């Protein structure tokens, strides 16, 4: 059963990507597949969220107080109203149209996020989370929603960068802030040539991934990273991105080649019948369980065995650390979903998560400190 865990986690990642793309059926299909492979709490939690709230995200009332004078002309509350026909037959509400218009009429980035000029990082993050969910093109099909979404992303990208924000505050002019960064081109809907695209920024906040990609495990439990970003830009922007991605592609190829050149480890953290690693062993220091083949005891003794067990423990700690991060991310996602949907049951469920890997990480940390 443990051998299927990696495949189940891959299915959950695919499901998250499908949710980000607005494909609820595909997300459900892969979450059900993940549940059959291995009973992951993340898959179960996402399924429950989809079944209960999946098609209504963004339809619940959403109010916010204007934090600056520039917000006074903007609607403070949006709620369900009669839908209109959008592009491709997709509907949108009058409130969504009003919201898009109000964003696109904003004169500065503080108005876009609805924050004061002394807003801190947490205020910016909260404002961005709320607006990004509301105006994401997969959720909001009103005309101009894509431009509003880009504007929100660029506002956060500039204001969360101390250097760019300082120049922006000094000049009060977005174009000069861009020129300060050695980039003369500016479009208010696209903003400066930001360090990250609005779509990637959204994926970092809501996709459960790091900027560099999603964490996964190799057969021996070591952590690795895979780039899974999807960009929606014009042909000219794609050419620029290809040039920026070339060094990353080279690094990935070098990494893959080095992995191919490295021989398979003589152990596994899980039993693997295919490689014959089914004999259970335990490290002397931390008592970590690992599995080897029938020839292992004859080939690895003394110093060699100590090196193997050290590697086993390093892999185990890395695995636990990554799984602890996933548990924390899952809890954060559930708590945020509970707040957005005003779901007390989901909040209680998030608070009741066992966080087994994080507890194990604390235990291992105490052993290291004690040693």
Instruction: Identify whether residues 292 and 171 lie together within a single domain.
Output: no
Quote the CA–CA distance of 152 and 109 in Å, as a whole number. Answer: 8
Instruction: Identify whether residues 46 and 89 lie together within a single domain.
Output: no
Instruction: Identify whether residues 89 and 14 lie together within a single domain.
Output: no
Q: Residue 80: what pLDDT? A: 40
Instruction: Identify whether residues 32 and 69 lie together within a single domain.
Output: no
Sorted by sequence, the CB contacts under 8 Å of residue 356 that are 6+ apart come out as 327
Q: Is residue 263 part of a domain?
A: no
Which residue, of 205, 233, 249, is where some domain finishes? 205
Q: In terms of pTM, does the model score above 0.75?
A: no
- Report CA torsion sign: 307, 310, 314, 315: positive
Q: Is residue 229 part of a domain?
A: no
Instruction: Identify whether residues 191 and 322 lie together within a single domain.
Output: no
Which residue, of 34, 55, 76, is where some domain finishes? 55
Residue-wise pLDDT tens digits, 163-179:
888 888 887 655 455 55
Are 114 and 121 in contact by the 8 Å Cβ rule? The answer is no
DSSP string, 232-256: ---HHHHHHHHHHHHHHHHHHHHHH
Sorted by sequence, the CB contacts under 8 Å of residue 224 that are 6+ apart come out as 215, 216, 217, 218
Residue-wise pLDDT tens digits, 303-335:
999 999 999 999 999 999 999 999 998 888 888
Q: Is residue 224 part of a domain?
A: no
Are 78 and 44 in contact by the 8 Å Cβ rule? The answer is no
Instruction: Identify whether residues 69 and 155 lie together within a single domain.
Output: yes
41 or 229, which is more confident?
Answer: 41
Instruction: Identify whether residues 147 and 69 lie together within a single domain.
Output: yes
pLDDT at 35 over 70: yes
SS3 of residue 194 by DSSP: coil
Q: Is residue 252 part of a domain?
A: no
Domain count, the chain: 3
Residue-wise pLDDT tens digits, 235-290:
545 555 566 677 778 778 877 776 665 567 899 998 999 889 999 999 998 899 99
Q: Residue 269: what pLDDT? A: 92
Instruction: Identify whether residues 201 and 300 lie together within a single domain.
Output: no
Q: Residue 265: what pLDDT? A: 85
| Residue 36 domain boundaries | 1-55
Residue with tokens 């979903």: 337
Instruction: Identify whether residues 51 and 137 lie together within a single domain.
Output: no
Instruction: Identify whether residues 67 and 164 lie together within a single domain.
Output: yes
Instruction: Identify whether residues 74 and 142 lie together within a single domain.
Output: yes
Q: Residue 299: what pLDDT? A: 92
Least confident of 105-119, 164-178, 213-227, 236-250: 213-227
Quote the CA–CA distance of 136 and 111 in Å, as a whole number. Answer: 18
Q: Is residue 128 part of a domain?
A: yes
Which residue, of 205, 220, 255, is where some domain finishes? 205
């Amino acid at each position: 059963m443990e051998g299927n865990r990696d495949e189940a986690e891959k299915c959950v990642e695919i499901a998250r990507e499908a949710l980000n793309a607005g494909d609820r059926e595909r997300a459900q299909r892969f979450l059900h597949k993940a549940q059959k492979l291995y009973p992951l709490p993340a898959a179960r939690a996402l399924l429950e969220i989809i079944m209960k709230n999946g098609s209504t995200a963004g339809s619940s009332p959403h109010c916010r107080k204007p934090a600056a004078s520039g917000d006074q002309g903007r609607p403070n509350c949006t709620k369900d109203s009669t839908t209109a026909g959008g592009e491709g037959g997709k509907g949108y509400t009058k409130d969504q149209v009003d919201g898009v218009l109000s964003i696109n009429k904003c004169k500065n980035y503080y108005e876009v996020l609805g924050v004061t000029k002394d807003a801190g990082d947490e205020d910016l993050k909260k404002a961005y989370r709320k607006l990004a969910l509301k105006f994401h093109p997969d959720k909001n099909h009103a005309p101009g929603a894509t431009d509003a979404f880009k504007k929100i992303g660029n506002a956060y990208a500039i204001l969360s960068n101390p250097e760019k924000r300082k120049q922006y505050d000094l000049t009060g002019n977005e174009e000069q802030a861009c020129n300060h960064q050695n980039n003369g081109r500016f479009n208010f809907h696209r903003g400066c040539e930001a360090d990250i695209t609005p779509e990637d920024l959204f994926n970092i906040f809501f996709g459960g991934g790091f900027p560099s990609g999603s964490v996964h495990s190799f057969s021996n439990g070591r952590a690795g990273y895979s780039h899974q970003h999807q960009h929606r830009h014009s042909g000219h922007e794609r050419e620029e991105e290809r040039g920026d991605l070339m060094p990353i592609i080279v690094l990935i190829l070098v990494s893959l080649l080095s992995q191919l050149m490295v021989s398979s480890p003589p152990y596994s953290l899980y039993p693997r019948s295919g490689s014959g690693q089914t004999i259970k062993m335990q490290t002397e220091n931390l008592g970590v369980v690992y599995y080897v083949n029938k020839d292992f005891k004859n080939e690895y003794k003394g110093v060699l065995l100590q090196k193997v067990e050290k590697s086993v423990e390093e892999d185990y700690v890395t695995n636990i650390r990554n799984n602890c991060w996933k548990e924390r991310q899952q809890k954060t996602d559930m708590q945020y979903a509970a707040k957005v949907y005003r779901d007390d049951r989901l909040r209680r469920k998030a608070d009741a998560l066992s966080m087994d890997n994080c507890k194990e990480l604390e235990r291992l940390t105490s052993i290291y400190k004690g040693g």
